């Protein structure tokens, strides 16, 4: 059975060109980028080329790119590197746990944090952020695209608010990178996190954009790597693959105008979404009213339980996901969907379909042919659904 992978917000497959770019750096060209001999110089040149490729994707200077081990480290470095006890931080209730739990840790360390909510569309309201500003506010940290719903957040307006208040602005752009254009100047952010594995690069590598002259305290203590902002020998093959993935992402984004790239992906996503809504009664799209990244569709199916749906689809060769997380044996409804006002029941009945560049129209049709049957079977077994009929 050829599997269909519609869980690209969890991670994406490597593109063949990325694999090809990485391979030499796993074997012959294995040097440490800090060594002064030839192998070291080759490694340094490869890391710096990748830095240029990543900087170009974000409209940043190469000196403003710090390589990390991924999105979580970038978010941690931004928050812990900047904020001190006594400061105030504004974040949102719909952030990824890499930011939310970092904020909780900051609170334990004596930082005050305000978590603004969002509208029913899953979008943070800039007025709420402005109203939360205090004289001691140091940082606003709000994501660019939500990982569960795909809803794009008003980062440019938040950048303006931050600049006017002389406050730092960090955007977690892990789910935006490679899906929509990112220009750090246009956003006006001081810090921005991305991760390679969400854009067809390897897992375990990412980058934090750090605007020039931003004083950031390194969290890993050691050598003077990454201009003293992140100690540790660079992940050479990972960084090379990340650079290639960034270059390919920039080319792909430019195809949008010609109906390829993101426009093609949006077409596939919309076909999937509208097809599901047409075929399945009692289905609604979360964040339908919001501007979204082109690959994500999060759908509530009344009367089903998300985990059961994921397992049933898995048995049919299709990978999708729920937003809910299993903690201490209980299925917790997604904090994002509940912040949008969904009931626990609706949040537990929500499924995330997320597409990647490798997905095809045929795969969308196959998923469309499978979803109604799976929903019908699960509803037949559901006491909740029986009660609703
Ligand atoms: C919005 C967002 N931020 C941060 C992360 C963490 O990234 P990583 O898995 O590379 O640590 C993720 C991963 O899903 C994410 O979706």
Report yes or no: 196 and 242 within 8 Å, Cβ to Cβ: yes
The residues, any chain, with a CB within 8 Å of residue 23's CB and separated by 6 or more, are: none
Residues 260, 265: Cα–Cα separation, whole Å:
8
Say how far residue 211 (Cα) sits from the centre of its chain. 20
Report the nearest atom of ligand 1 relative to the CA of 206. Answer: 10
CA 111, 117, 123, 124 torsion: positive or negative? negative
- State yes or no: pLDDT of 357 exceeds 70: yes
CA 203, 354, 370, 383 torsion: positive or negative? positive
Q: How confident is the model over 94-116, as a mean pLDDT?
A: 98
DSSP track, 17-64: HHHHHHGGGTTTS---TT-SSHHHHHHHHHHHHHHHHHHHHHT--GGG
Which pLDDT score is estimated for 328? 52
pLDDT in tens, 136-184: 999 999 999 999 999 999 999 999 999 999 999 999 999 999 999 999 9
Which pLDDT score is estimated for 43? 97
Report yes or no: 303 and 279 within 8 Å, Cβ to Cβ: no
Residues 296, 286: Cα–Cα separation, whole Å:
10
Which stretches of 59-203 are DSSP H helices? Answer: 71-82, 97-108, 126-132, 155-165, 184-187
Distance 208 CA to ligand 1 centre (A): 13
Query: Token pair of 230, please?
Result: 């992140």
Overall pTM surpassing 0.75 (yes/no): yes
Q: How confident is the model over 245-270, as a mean pLDDT?
A: 94
Report the nearest atom of ligand 1 relative to the CA of 70. Answer: 10
Q: Of 303, 313, 199, 305, give the one whose Cα is nearest residue 253.
A: 199
The separation between the first and the last C-alpha atoms of the chain, rounded to the nearest angstrom, is 36
Q: Of 280, 296, 294, 238, give the one whose Cα is nearest residue 8.
A: 296
Q: How confident is the model over 90-110, as a mean pLDDT?
A: 98
Distance 156 CA to ligand 1 centre (A): 21
Q: How confident is the model over 280-289, as a mean pLDDT?
A: 97
Strand pairing of 191-195 and 206-210?
antiparallel
Report the nearest atom of ligand 1 relative to the CA of 197. Answer: 10
pLDDT in tens, 40-93: 999 999 999 999 999 999 999 999 999 999 999 999 999 999 999 999 999 999
298: DSSP letter: E
Report yes or no: 40 and 34 within 8 Å, Cβ to Cβ: yes
Which pLDDT score is estimated for 343? 96
CA–CA distance from 251 to each of 64, 178, 223, 248 (Å)? 22, 10, 35, 5
Calculate Rg over the CA atoms of the chain. Answer: 21
- State yes or no: pLDDT of 331 exceeds 80: no
Report yes or no: 36 and 204 within 8 Å, Cβ to Cβ: no
Ligand 1 pocket (Cβ < 6 Å) reads: 70-72, 75, 96, 98, 143, 147, 172, 174-175, 195, 206
Residue closest via CA to ligand 1's atom 16 equals 147
Which pLDDT score is estimated for 329? 57
Mean pLDDT score of the chain: 96
Query: Token pair of 44, please?
Result: 């340094």
- State yes or no: pLDDT of 304 exceeds 80: yes
Residues 222, 225: Cα–Cα separation, whole Å:
8
Report yes or no: 242 and 107 within 8 Å, Cβ to Cβ: no
**DSSP bridge pairs for 115:** 91
Distance 326 CA to ligand 1 centre (A): 18
Which of 67, 73, 96, 171 is the best mutation target for the ligand 1 pocket, counting ligand atoms within 8 Å of the beta carbon and taking the most? Answer: 96
Residue closest via CA to ligand 1's atom 14 equals 10
Give the number of other CB atoms < 10 A from CB of residue 358.
14
Catalytic residues: 326
Report the nearest atom of ligand 1 relative to the CA of 147. Answer: 16
- State yes or no: pLDDT of 326 exceeds 60: no
Distance 173 CA to ligand 1 centre (A): 9
Residue closest via CA to ligand 1's atom 7 equals 71
């Amino acid at each position: 059975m050829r599997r269909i992978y519609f869980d690209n917000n969890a991670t994406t497959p490597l593109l063949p060109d990325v694999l090809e770019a990485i391979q030499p750096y796993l074997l012959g060209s294995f040097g440490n980028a800090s060594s002064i001999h030839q192998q070291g110089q080759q490694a340094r040149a490869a890391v710096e080329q990748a830095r240029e490729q990543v900087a170009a994707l974000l409209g940043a200077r190469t000196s403003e790119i710090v390589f990390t081990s991924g999105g979580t480290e970038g978010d941690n470095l931004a928050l812990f590197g900047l904020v001190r006890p006594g400061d105030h931080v504004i974040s949102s209730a719909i952030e990824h746990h890499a930011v939310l739990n970092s904020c909780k840790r900051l609170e334990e360390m004596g930082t005050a944090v305000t978590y603004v909510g969002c509208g029913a569309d899953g979008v943070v309201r800039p007025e709420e952020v402005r109203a939360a500003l205090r004289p001691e506010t140091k940082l606003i940290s709000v994501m660019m695209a939500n990982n569960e719903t795909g809803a794009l957040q008003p980062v440019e307006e938040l950048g303006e608010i931050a600049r006017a208040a002389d406050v730092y602005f960090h955007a977690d752009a892990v789910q935006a990178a490679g899906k929509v254009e990112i220009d750090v100047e246009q956003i006006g952010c001081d810090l921005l996190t991305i991760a390679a594995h969400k854009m067809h690069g390897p897992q375990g590598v990412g980058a934090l954009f750090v605007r020039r002259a931003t004083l950031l305290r390194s969290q890993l203590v050691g050598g003077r790597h990454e201009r003293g902002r992140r100690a540790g020998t660079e992940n050479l093959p990972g960084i090379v693959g990340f650079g290639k993935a960034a270059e390919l992402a920039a080319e792909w984004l430019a195809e949008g105008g010609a109906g390829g790239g993101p426009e093609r992906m949006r077409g596939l996503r919309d076909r999937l979404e509208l097809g599901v809504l047409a075929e399945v009664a009692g289905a609604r799209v979360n964040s339908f009213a919001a501007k979204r990244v082109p690959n994500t569709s999060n759908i509530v199916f009344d009367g089903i339980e998300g985990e059961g749906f994921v397992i049933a689809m898995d048995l049919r060769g299709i990978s999708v996901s729920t937003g809910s997380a299993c903690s201490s044996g209980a299925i917790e409804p997604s904090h994002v969907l509940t912040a949008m006002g969904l009931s626990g029941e609706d949040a537990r009945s929500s499924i995330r379909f997320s597409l990647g560049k490798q997905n095809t129209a045929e795969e969308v049709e196959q998923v469309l042919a499978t979803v109604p049957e799976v929903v019908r079977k699960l509803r037949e077994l559901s006491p909740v659904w029986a009660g609703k009929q």
